Amino acid sequence: MKHRHLASVFFLAGTAAAGATLAASAQRSSGFDILITNGRIVDGSGAPWYRGDVGIVGDRIQAIGRLGGASAKTSIDARDMVVAPGFVDMLGQSEFNVLVDNRAASKILQGVTTEVTGEGSSIAPVNDRMIEEAAAVFKHFGVLADWHSLDEYFRRLNERTRPAINMATFVGAGGVRNYVIGKEDRKATPAELDQMKQLVEQAMQQGALGLSSSLQYVPDRFADSEELVALAGVAARHGGIYITHQRSEGNRLFESLGEVVAIAERAAIPAEIWHLKTAYKANWGKMPEVLSRIEAARARGLDVTANQYPYTRASNGLDACLPLWVREGGLEKMLARLKDPIQRGRIKREMDDPAATAWENQWYGSGGAEGVMLSSVLSPELRKYEGMTLAAIGKQLGNDPRDVVMDFVIADRAESSVIISIMAEEDVRAALKHPLVAIGSDSPAKAEDGPLAESKSHPRGWGSFPRILGTYVRGERLLTLEEAIRKMTSRAAARVHLDDRGLLKPGMMADITVFDPVTIRDVSTFQDPNHYSVGVKHVLVNGRPVVADGKMTDERPGRALRGPGYRKGS
């Protein structure tokens, strides 16, 4: 009785009318490969749930409704469970990690069946110099970098990697800038811009979803709006969208938002903001105004939206705590600057500058050493410091924490990551309630075992989707179950033109998540992150079970998903 009572609180009342039998009679004679029965179907559209069955043949949904009496090779009893489309992670970041561990364990155990990725610097296109720059990471994890184009990467994904989840990617504006120019802070020449446009054109034809940028980081930061408009225009011609990590999420937030809107207008392209936030204490409480400005842009006919993750702490590279000029020009130039005593003095002064405008001063904005926690490293010698703030590390080593930042960037060759305390819960909630905001974890897939378990990480990569369903839907009733599922499924899939996913209806791909609404929750914490979420019982990817009865299977049915401009053989 308790279980039933909690479930009734969790769900909105609905009618069975939406679950009228669809094409059921034909299937009863021939049977299904998989039949999910007795579930509370939340179809991803935002409509009220209804009770019914889902019949699957091959990799597609064949029928939905009251399918009693139908035969099936495999049956899944979903009584007291929610049956939903597989979740779409709008910023998954697993393009490299699936090459290391194709289980994508921390994602499929959240119910994620598709990842969208490619934030600024995408997995392709790359040249030999770029591959060499990443050689330490490839060598550490035993991955052979045997692709240059996006098509070559997708072929490897489908033919050799065979991940558990589907993967789709944008082409990064910073990546093509690095390909052509490198990491120097200068304007592209007309010839260089033409070459960059050709790379975007090729990537769009090979299946990129659109153009991305990550304007807080090198080299994306060095691109002006003119360059971004030119590249976005190429993506627009192929039906793609523009998606961006804004130039500022802090003190120049509104100017940055204005740039996003201007690019959307000038390039005649839909635009989405990745991991929307109002960063640093001086900007807390501004989320309603941000959302209002997005609404105003849409009222003018501009297709602007956003996504977020449900946490108040962010994560990026430790080197992002350093002024922009330190990072300019690539790794070796940065390391040389960090070894120069005179330049180190200047760096420390600028790290404590509250009025910085040339860069996002995340060190000061996080409250300095107490607000920055070392989350993961590549070097085994530094691993003992994971999970400690820079203040605690500095105290243990007897060093100024700002010197620790520079010393660790040198020692780990800029491979270390940090978690930074920069957001307010009220702003996270305001965005989460808004219908224009989808969900993305902004973290790659990890695992409790294997090579990806050697270091810590941000809990968002382990628990973003269950956290929303457990904390904000069941616990706080901040939004309805149906609306949360819509954000995680059809809203995301439609935004990037994955038109055969994100909804439960006949003919759609059978990416399906079945979870217990009473027990689903995130387990990962900032102090102890490497733990799977609980409550997800079954996950199907392309009609095959990657999670069964709460346990990972040996199935690896994930595919490379290509965007609207894809031309076979391009």
C-alpha 220/C-alpha 466 separation (Å) is 32
- Convert the pLDDT of each residue in 8-66 to its tens digit: 334 333 433 343 344 443 444 459 999 999 999 999 999 999 999 999 999 999 999 99
Rounded-to-integer distance, Cα 133 and Cα 315, Å: 22
Tokens 């799977």, located at residue: 532
Spatial separation of the C-alpha atoms in residues 264 and 221, rounded to whole Å: 18
- How many Cβ atoms sit within 10 Å of the Cβ of residue 336? 12
3-state secondary structure 282-326: HHCCCHHHHHHHHHHHHHCCCCEEEEECCCCEEEEEHHHHCCHHH
CB 303 within 8 A of CB 242: no
Residue 418: CB atoms within 10 A of its CB come to: 27
Could you tell me the pLDDT band of residue 68, with boundaries at 50, 70 and 90? Answer: confident
Average pLDDT of span 363-376: 95
Mean pLDDT computed over 457-486:
98
Q: Is 560 helix (H, G, I), strand (E, B) or coil?
A: strand
Q: What is the mean pLDDT of residues 491-520?
A: 98
Report the distance separating Cα 357 and Cα 350, nearest Å: 11
Q: 544-548 and 210-214: which strand pairing?
A: unpaired
Cis ω before 288 (30° cut-off from 0): no
Task: Specify the residue for token string 């558990």.
Answer: 164
What pLDDT, on the 0 to 100 scale, is given for residue 69?
A: 85
- Amino acid 68 reads G
Q: What is the pLDDT of residues 374-416, one digit of tens each?
A: 999 999 999 999 999 999 999 999 999 999 999 999 999 999 9
pLDDT digits (tens, 9 = 90+) for 88-97: 999 999 999 9
What pLDDT score does 568 carry?
83
Instruction: State the Cα–Cα distance between residues 339 and 331, nearest whole angstrom.
Output: 13
Phi, psi of 85 (to 5 degrees): -60, 155
Helices 253-267/287-299 angle, 10° precision: 20
Q: How much is the average pLDDT of 423-448?
A: 98
Specify the pLDDT at position 262.
98
* Cβ–Cβ < 8 Å for 318, 405: yes
Among 383, 370, 90, smallest CA distance to 245 is for 90
**DSSP type of residue 452:** G
What number is the average pLDDT over the span 539-565?
98
Q: Tell me what pLDDT residue 16 has.
A: 37
Q: How many residues does the chain have?
A: 570
The CA angle 238-240-246, to the nearest 5 degrees, is 140
Q: Which residue type, as a one-letter code, is found at position 98? A: V
- Beta bridge pairs of residue 76: 36
Taking residues 524-546, report their average pLDDT. 97
Checking if the pLDDT of 2 tops 90, the result is no
State the Cα–Cα distance between residues 408 and 416, nearest whole angstrom.
Answer: 8
Half-sphere exposure of 68 (CA within 13 A, CB side): 6
Q: Which residues contact 527 (CB under 8 A, 6 or more apart)?
A: 387
What is the average pLDDT score of the chain?
94
Q: What is the model's pLDDT at position 356?
A: 85
467 has pLDDT over 50: yes
The Cα–Cα gap between 172 and 196 comes to 10
Q: Which residue has the tokens 């021939």?
A: 30
Q: What percent of the chain has pLDDT over 90?
A: 92
Is the Cβ–Cβ distance between 18 and 461 less than 8 Å? no
Sign (positive or negative) of CA dihedral 299, 300, 304, 306: negative
SS3 readout for 177-224 = HHHHCCCCCCCCCHHHHHHHHHHHHHHHHCCCCEEEEECCCCCHHHCC
pLDDT at 23: 42
Q: DSSP per residue over 11-50, as a string?
A: SPP--GGGG--BSHHHHHHH-EEEEEEEEEE--SSSPPPE
Task: Please write the tens of the pLDDT for every residue from 203-243.
Answer: 999 999 999 999 999 999 999 999 999 999 999 999 999 99
To 10 degrees, the CA torsion angle through 112, 114, 120, 123?
120
Return the number of other C-beta atoms located less than 10 Å from residue 247's C-beta: 22
DSSP per position, 433-494: HSTTEEE---S----SSSGGGSS---THHHHHHHHIIIIIIIIT-SS-HHHHHHHHTHHHHH
The predicted pLDDT at position 30 comes to: 58
List the domains of the chain with CATH numbers.
87-314+423-495 (3.20.20.140), 316-421 (no CATH)
Residue 460 CA to residue 513 CA, distance in Å, equals 19
- H/E stretch holding 373: strand 372-376
Gyration radius of the chain's alpha carbons = 23
∠ CA 531-116-439 to the nearest 5 degrees?
65
Question: How many C-beta atoms lie closer than 10 Å to residue 487's C-beta?
Answer: 27
pTM above 0.95, yes or no: no
